[in-house]
Homo-oligomer: A and B are copies of this chain.
Amino acid sequence: MEEVWVAGAAMNKFGKMSDTGREAAAKVSLEAIRAAGLEPKDIEYTFVSNCFGVAERQAHVGPLINTSLGIPDVPSATIESACSSSSAALHEAYVHVAGGFLNAALVVGVEKLSHMETLSATSYFAMGADYAFEARNGATFPGLYATLASAHMQKYGTKPEELGAVAVKNHQNASGNPHAHFQKPITIETYLNSAPIAWPLKLYDCCPFSDGAAAVVVVNPAKYRRDIPGTSAVIRASARAGSIAALQDRPDLTALPAARTAGEKAFKQAKVTPKDIDFSEVHDCFTIAEVLAMEDLGFYPKGKAAPAAREGQSAVDGSTPINVSGGLKAKGHPVSATGAAQVVEVFEQFNGHAGKRQVKDPQWALCHNVGATGGSCSVHIFEKK
């Protein structure tokens, strides 16, 4: 088994994007390749995520990106898993490089939906749920995550002020991230007074619709070591799991089984425990999702994560920093770019480039990326090198 390093990573500013998806993807790809000290011709395979390319009438975007990079002959494949698409793509790249099939691969996720009406964006997102049993009957993601939130509140007494603490922290972190969609801190009062979206979730519980692109270059260091200019992130674990997609068929609504399974596999593979992780980027499409992640990954026992968030334990300078980038909640959530963007944060933190949101000398980081309401989950663990 070969070692697999993230040698370069880059993203654009999430938010409303004037570039088309193919343009944005090519730009961040070139930046990531250069950050790795490579040239496009060193890339041997391109793994692309672009779930809603149809909104731009453009499927099969891999050859277009490779052509823009000047490497049209290089094979590409689209790898998707709803909101966890580019972490699923990273898993494929990891397997190819770890197995010795490739020495350098590009992973790039991109999404552009802002040119659609908001209703259409919601409708596109809802295709990640179980259409026959959820979306067709009117359930969209705010409603589905509201169901998870109310179950958690009922069982563990989770309070709006605790979910609000997650939102306030993530907006605070995003205010130090020039790539973030939202760069203004909010107060707990702003949170508590915000409009209800789907009870118990308010406006500030929900991540925005964002456009964006993010790219990651993975290499076999034995072949490329001399060229890597900065600090790399060694992928010590790349684990994925699935679960029943429809909430109605799950025995328990206070945890995401795919996240628990993928997390357990990842910690076993990396031979570390939650205590060893210096910071985590987790899938907080809604504030409750961050609370679930903190528990599903074993950072906190069930019912203890939300109070811990309110106590500041998950802040940049807390005992268990979570979403130091601002997370999906405030950095933004351009579906297929999200998993790769989490890795960009790991790369920037390991290189000491995170400015105001810099975690002190991190050695280990974790990324947790959920597809839909947890039909899929990927967990990656990285060591600084």
- A residues within 8 Å of B by Cβ? 20, 22, 46, 51-54, 56-60, 62-64, 66-67, 72-82, 85, 88, 91-92, 95-96, 98-101, 123-124, 126-132, 135-136, 240-245, 249, 257-258, 261-262, 371-372, 375-376
Beta-carbon nearest neighbor of A250 in chain B: B72
Contact B75–A242 (Cβ < 8 Å) = yes
Beta-carbon nearest neighbor of A245 in chain B: B63
Give, as a whole number of angstroms, the nearest-CB distance from A257 to chain B: 7
Beta-carbon nearest neighbor of A123 in chain B: B57
Residue from B60, B123, B131 within 8 A of A245 (CB atoms):
B60
Compute how far the CA of A328 lies from the CA of B365 in the bound complex, rounded to whole angstroms: 48
Judged by DSSP, the binding face of A is mixed
Return chain B residues, CB-CB under 8 Å to A81.
60, 62, 76-78
Return chain B residues, CB-CB under 8 Å to A95.
92, 95-96, 99, 101
Give, as a whole number of angstroms, the nearest-CB distance from A242 to chain B: 5
Return chain B residues, CB-CB under 8 Å to A123.
57
Contact A376–B60 (Cβ < 8 Å) = yes
Return chain B residues, CB-CB under 8 Å to A258.
73
Contact A60–B99 (Cβ < 8 Å) = no
Compute how far the CA of A20 lies from the CA of B130 in the bound complex, rounded to whole angstroms: 13
Contact B128–A59 (Cβ < 8 Å) = yes
Residue from B54, B85, B126, B242 within 8 A of A73 (CB atoms):
B242
Contact A132–B243 (Cβ < 8 Å) = no
**Known contacts A57-B127, A60-B376; can you find 17 more A-B pairs with CB under 8 A?**
A46-B242, A57-B123, A58-B132, A60-B81, A60-B128, A60-B129, A62-B376, A63-B242, A63-B243, A64-B375, A72-B242, A73-B257, A75-B242, A77-B240, A78-B79, A78-B88, A99-B100
Give, as a whole number of angstroms, the nearest-CB distance from A336 to chain B: 11
Contact B92–A80 (Cβ < 8 Å) = no
Give, as a whole number of angstroms, the nearest-CB distance from A42 to chain B: 15
Contact A245–B99 (Cβ < 8 Å) = no
